[in-house]
Structure 1
Amino acid sequence: MKNISFLFLLLIFGFQAQAQNQSKQRLTQLMGTHPVMGLSVAVVKDNKLVYKEALGWKEDGKVPLQTSDIFRIASISKSFSATSIMQLVEKKKLSLDDDVSELIGFTVRNPKFPDTVITLRMLLSHTSSINDSEGYFTLDAINPAKNPNWEKAYNDYEPGKGYQYCNLNFNTVGAIIEKYSGERFDHYVKTHILDPLGLYGGYNVDELDASHFAKIYAYLPDSAKFSPSPAAYASKKGEIDTYVMGYSTPIFSPTGGMKISAPDLAKYMIMHMNYGKGEKAKIISKNSSQLMQTPLSSDENYGLALWKTNTLVPGIELTGHTGSAYGLFSAMFFDPEEKFGIVVISNGCGPAYEEGYNRVIRESVNVLYEEWIKK
């Protein structure tokens, strides 16, 4: 029996070594085919982080990328905000059907449908009828007392009866988290999600070690060159000095400002894969987690900051989110039944899309699926 167990272990290690070599080789080839500054990836299989790799540059031509480097992950950040809301709902401090006007402290109504309540659930599912045409870096965009053009921030359809992806939805959500938790948004997420899961990251660049930031680059197709995007990690010290709880929240970008490494994002993903239970702590209930993963919009199969797709890996239904900002592209997708998931982050790559996804991200996800999951 001991010999059989030993041979089994040899087979497992052999498979892993082969998968590692093949993955690295194929990702390197992919980076030679497309313009890519750097690529950091992580694979979870059978609820375990089985592979992590970093390729390319952290700083163009000077510093190689490491798996411990952290990135501003863009819109995957929305799931951290939604998870925070579900925690507050479980504590009965909020309800998903609460009127956003009452929660935020000023009128949030589509002027074409003034009698239709816009709810917290609508913000989280992008069915609120709010749009980003007036901007989303401040709540003034939608506040009638601050913006004379506030009516333009609403679409023509009735709230709850249409879908449009909208960053202002989640910056508003961040402010609501502050008002009903009593904690500043960035501190709330750190205390109630990151720390319990044992993850390094956060929304506040001034409280993170800048030496770990993977520099972000926008690819310029016309010149075929990469241009640095320093705004991705801009300090917020000045804004924090005059911070107003429950209103200034967009400076941390609840909609896209999380900074975290690919392996730690994979560990966070494990929590959602297991319906709220991470490796070190239970973050939300199974019911809350399932609700986040259940599509409310048939247009986009979008739930509460997570959506379902069968086109990222053709024919395989996955749950997760993508991100893109400042030249960065990211993806976090998983299968909660088969217990696998994939994280891919690029700090700069060609912006071409394929089947609704950045081509470099989609091809990387498929390489990792083929080498680690399909085989």
Structure 2
Amino acid sequence: MIHPNFSKTFTILVIFLLQFCVAKAQYEAAEADFKKVMEKFNAVGASVAVVKEGKIVYTHSFGWKDLENQTPLTDADIFRIASISKSFSATSILQLVESGKLSLEDDFGDLVGFRIRNPKFPDRKITLKMALSHTSSLNDSQGYLNLDLINPDKNPDYAKCYNDYEPGKGYQYCNLNFNLIGTIIEKKSGERFDRYVENHILKPLNLYGGYCVDSLDSTRFVKLYEYHADTKNFSPSPAAYAPRREEIKNYVMGYSTPIFSPTGGMKISATDLAKYMIMHMNYGAGNGVKIISKKHAKLMQTKITEEEEYGLALRQASNLIPDVKLVGHTGSAYGLYSTLFFNPKKKFGFVIITNGINATYTGDFPDFTRAAINTLYEHFMK
């Protein structure tokens, strides 16, 4: 006679094995289709993470971390993620708002420490909220790697940094906005920008990453590659991880901040970026701690401008996956293309980072990004 406990254990084991086999088949099918996407766009490597029901259910890395040495990419490797970094800066600002150190309606120039006014509209205050939502009327036409460009005391051509429309009445994506925002974080917190983000976002969420190259394990950096259509070859982009040690030696708090690139300089793995995404998916809470309030997390995700669907360093996307509303951000620099998008109501999301592709665009998004996220959606959500 079979003991009841044995029968129960056997049943549980069979169910587990069946679930394992189904999951294995699902992963293999997803990986086969994802590899086809990579081949289509000549991707060097890619790391992905899939979140379902608020939890990471799948991570995988494809291709090469180092093309020349044929070093495989792993889930532990970290990328410079480009403009997704802006959401870390915005999250930091909202923490300071919640602590009463500033307001979203504060004069941007008063916070930065020199006059920031569009000379065509000198009486119109440019607010911190306008900078966070790219409605400030600032532009990157003169660059964005130091603050002298827009400082009237340092640059007689500072007016070129402004567009012709009234602040708050138009949208133009602008990296300078967020390098200026980084200086405000330093002035109001008393902490160097990279350390503030580490202490108030990364450590509480138990994430490995940061903006300062020398504070990270360089053996984990993923090489980034620019694609050249004329030769159909890739070339490495070492500037992505330039340590800028001399500049940091002479650092001026509240002014030298663009050295760390609050607008694009975060380095992190796809898996840890997905954990950060879960925090925003949960409206400000992750790893058992509250990073920002639900009110401000929702504000980041709420579009300010209708056409671009942009909020505060996060945007809505209604045309990335057909008939699916998403919130998130993309990034591109040095040949890298990064993607973070999620649905906060249904608690699913995707992180996809590639270190080099033959990039073509349809609308706002690279065709690789669109194909990659739809492939993962088909396999894991449908």
- What TM-score bracket applies, with the shorter chain setting the length? over 0.9
Deviations, residues 107-134 of structure 1 (Å, cap 9, x unaligned):
0000000000000000000000000011
Deviations, residues 30-72 of structure 1 (Å, cap 9, x unaligned):
2222211111100000111111111111100421111110000
Contact residue 311 and residue 355 of structure 1 kept, 8 A: no
Match of 1:46 among 48, 53, 71: 53
Match of 1:348 among 337, 342, 356: 356
Match of 1:272 among 280, 286, 294: 280
The 2-side partners of 1:46 and 1:131 are apart by 39
The 1-side partners of 2:15 and 2:312 are apart by 42
Contact residue 270 and residue 279 of structure 1 kept, 8 A: no
Match of 2:380 among 346, 349, 372: 372
Q: How big is the shift at 1:2?
A: 7.3
Q: How big is the shift at 1:315?
A: 1.4
Which residue of structure 2 lines up, in the alignment, with residue 327 of structure 1? 335
TM-score by length of 2: 0.95
Which residue of structure 1 lines up, in the alignment, with residue 344 of structure 2? 336
The 1-side partners of 2:21 and 2:106 are apart by 54
Q: Match for 2:226: what amino acid? A: A
Contact residue 41 and residue 359 of structure 2 kept, 8 A: no
Which residue of structure 2 lines up, in the alignment, with residue 18 of structure 1? 25
For residues 283-294 of structure 1, what are the structure 2 equivalents within 5 Å? 283-294=291-302
Q: Match for 1:24: what amino acid? A: E
The 1-side partners of 2:18 and 2:120 are apart by 64
The answer to whether residue 27 in structure 2 is matched with residue 34 in structure 1 is no
The 1-side partners of 2:157 and 2:11 are apart by 73
Residues 216, 6 of structure 1: alpha-carbon distance in 2 compared, 3 angstrom cutoff: same
Match of 2:303 among 295, 298, 301: 295
The 2-side partners of 1:56 and 1:133 are apart by 36
What are structure 1's unaligned runs of at least 5 residues?
none
Aligned residue pairs, count: 374
The answer to whether residue 112 in structure 2 is matched with residue 94 in structure 1 is no
Identity %: 59
For residues 232-311 of structure 1, what are the structure 2 equivalents within 5 Å? 232-311=240-319
Contact residue 224 and residue 335 of structure 2 kept, 8 A: yes
Contact residue 175 and residue 249 of structure 1 kept, 8 A: yes
Which residue of structure 2 lines up, in the alignment, with residue 107 of structure 1? 115
RMSD: 1.3
Which residue of structure 2 lines up, in the alignment, with residue 137 of structure 1? 145
Deviates further, 191-200 or 352-361: 352-361
Give the secondary-structure state (helix, strand or coil) at the position aligned to 2:170. coil
Q: Match for 1:247: what amino acid? A: Y
Match of 2:217 among 189, 206, 209: 209
Residues 318, 15 of structure 1: alpha-carbon distance in 2 compared, 3 angstrom cutoff: farther
The 1-side partners of 2:25 and 2:310 are apart by 36
TM-score by length of 1: 0.97
The answer to whether residue 163 in structure 2 is matched with residue 160 in structure 1 is no
What are structure 2's unaligned runs of at least 5 residues?
1-7
Q: How big is the shift at 1:356?
A: 2.0
- Answer with 1 or 2: which has the greater Rg: 2
